Structure 1
Amino acid sequence: EKREDQDPDPYDQSSTPERTIDDILKGTPGNEERRKKIEELLKQDPWRAAKHIKNYMARHNIPQREVVDSTGLNQSHLSQHLNKGTPMKNQKRGLLYAWWTKKQDEVAAQFKIARSGMGAEQVEEAAGVSPRARRNRFKWGPASQRILYEAYQHQRNPTKEEREELVKKCNRAECNQRGVSPSHANGLGSNLVTEVRVYNWFANRRK
């Protein structure tokens, strides 16, 4: 059942959002095609689109905070919209869809660029991911956490060699989750699992 905009919006802090679709898309190529996609999404069932976005974020380990930072949307409202289909005005949905269409292009570009052998940080920069978006983006995915929890049951303080093997397993699992070849793991960008991150995970777990 299609969920229409409702008025008043209890999450409105002002009459209009501070940011616009132009703010989100500016400085990146392919915006004409993205605008067409946004218009099409705005014509569709909002709940259907919300479920697609939620699934995409889960598959790529994207935290809601990244969406909030980019769009200026209220995080509570965003969470309710994605998880329960709580109505969101078209103007705000436009911001969400602008972020999503841009994000899909960035992620696709990252894995394409990774084929050249470029490092994870350079891949994101080359794909046009803004410095603000690159900061603090790492988030442990369920696939990696399952691998680490299982390893922790057998060894609470793995050696460097064992940690490096876990890095390979985690990145392979993260790539498989996204449907891409593990040989292009640098396309994970900020979500690339490193030996330092594995070391810190075990250190925090032992506390």
Structure 2
Amino acid sequence: MTCAACAARVQKKLNGLQGVSAAVNYATGTARVTTPAGLPARELVAAVERAGYTAREPEGGQPGDEDAADERDAARDAAYLKRRLFVALVFFVPLTDLSLMLSLIPSLRFAGWQWLLVGCAAPVALWCAWPFHRAALKNARHGAASMDTLVSLGIIAACGWSVYAMFVLDRAERGGSFWQLLIHASGGGIYLETAATVTTFLLAGRLYEA
């Protein structure tokens, strides 16, 4: 689960089972469920999976085993996010500086500047932002939307418009004064740094949560 909407969807699926009363906590990633006698736990797990998520039964054994399992999951998630955040930070700073500079001051543009920006943005918008795209695709397959859907669409829109502006609009806008180029070239702006900023800050937030 990545937002409160996810928790609400899982809770709705569980409460849809006959005789089941469930409360899902997004912050802890757990569900407290009251069921009729004899209802197997695997049916609850199956209901969660039908919502597009995964679940496991509370593990038996010594006190603290469940906490240890949660700590292992958190450590794995943190390592996964840390790798992506590190790569995003490596490209975020130069991409932001170059995008702003070349968007606001067209006279500084050089041959192949578009490809340089695309090369800096692609790892961030594709690989680093993959957790958001993956969650958005999973939600779409189940006919639902969440915060990840908005994040994914925002990244795609920023990158899609920027590529169109750099390779199509700029080709049609040749010459003119500085102010004409500033207002009209690239449709008035390049937004690759926006995609990188959204990805980097949200990854940092997810890592802090983990």
Judge same fold: TM > 0.5, yes or no. no
Structure number with the higher strand fraction is 2
Q: Which has the larger Rg?
A: 2
Normalising by structure 2, what TM-score?
Answer: 0.27
